[in-house]
Amino acid sequence: MTDQQQPNEWFALEVVAASDAAEAIEFAMNELECLGSEINSLRKKPGEDLTISGYFEHEIGDETVAQAISYSLEVYGLSPESVRGRSWRRIGKTDWLYDWKKHWKPTTIGSFVVSPPWETVDDADRHVIFIEPNMAFGTGTHATTQLCLEAIGEIYRPGETLLDVGTGTGILAIGAALMNAVAGREMPRLTGCDLDAGSIDIARENAELNNVGGTIDFYVGSIKEDTEPADLVVANLTIDVIKPLLDLLLAKAKRSLMLSGVLVEQREELVSELEKRGITEAEIRTSGEWIAAIIRRS
């Protein structure tokens, strides 16, 4: 979104919650498609309640907000009492954008650097991915994005096809496209899908920003029976979305399947689902409260 397209004002959804629920509330903010979020922990003592703010172009209905927060708390295994209260605040046009630009700096993730487009990055040893801050997830600041992107840098081979299910900002497919461009390889079939049309628009914009527009097929939808298989399939979703898709994801992954968006406490649930399908040697990686599973096909 360019400065000329910015609305005249923004709205902040402010949720006061127990400190151990802060990440769950940020997750809910992203499910509500906030444009950015932050946790105010300034001068707070350990264990003290925190204020989590999500920024939007307009206010969202109370029932929709309540459902998103309730679902997120359930995913994280937290009680509704973790939330003390919530409210909306109308803010000036530039307040949060200025703060975002001031604090969001380039993030090194394995063989990549994820950066806002207003920064200059001089790192000849890494692939630089520029991402507009339209969504907090997919900017390289969330653990699940970092787990997946770092793994792509390690296991993806230029020339391979890739399918990114739940592509969001398109960061993972863009990373693969840049690896192919640097390797001088003919661009293989790279595909990203998402059920949210707004995410697909953002993914296409980010691909153009990184000079790989047109090399990735982004589309609204999900993986289906007639989806073409890919050498590497990535699904950074949630456990409740992954489970019903697992057979299809495995069937479409020719060499490797990467699953993320799964909490540490859900590890055994995911491992159990894989073992039911004869998969006993999945590589599990952990970052904070999140895990990623990498399944290499024989």
Dist CA 175 CA 190 (whole Å): 11
Name residue, tokens 């020719």: 254
User: Across 25-142, where does the E strand assignment appear?
Assistant: 36-40, 50-56, 83-92, 107-109, 112-115, 127-130
Dist CA 223 CA 43 (whole Å): 46
pLDDT of residue 177: 97
SS (H, E, C) 175-242: HHHHHHHHHCCCCCCEEEEECCHHHHHHHHHHHHHCCCCCCEEEEECCCCCCCCCEEEEEEECCHHHH
Query: pLDDT 10s per residue in the chain (298 long)?
Result: 334 345 567 888 999 999 999 989 988 998 888 877 778 766 777 888 999 988 888 899 999 999 999 999 998 889 999 999 999 998 876 656 666 666 678 889 999 999 988 888 888 899 999 988 665 456 666 788 899 999 999 999 999 999 999 998 899 999 999 999 999 888 999 999 998 888 899 899 999 999 999 899 999 999 999 999 999 999 999 899 999 999 999 999 999 999 999 989 899 999 999 999 999 999 999 988 899 999 998 7
Sign for the CA dihedral angle at 95, 98, 100, 102 comes to negative
Helix/strand/coil for 6: coil
Helix/strand/coil for 256: strand
pLDDT of residue 1: 39
CATH topology of domain 3-99: Alpha-Beta Plaits (3.30.70)
pLDDT of residue 7: 54
Contact 198, 220 (CB under 8 A): no
Q: Which is nearest to 283 in space by CA: 272, 273, 298, 271?
A: 271
The full set of domain ranges for the chain reads 3-99, 104-296
Across-strand partners of 296? 256
**Considering just the CA atoms, what is the radius of gyration of the chain in Å?**
19
Residue 57 DSSP code = S
pTM to 2 decimals? 0.78
Distance of CA 274 to the CA centre of its chain: 23
Amino acid, res. 68: A
Amino acid, res. 138: G
Dist CA 158 CA 53 (whole Å): 40
Contact 103, 133 (CB under 8 A): no
pLDDT of residue 25: 93
Q: Which is nearest to 63 in space by CA: 86, 39, 84, 37?
A: 86
CATH 3.40.50.150 is the classification of domain 104-296: yes
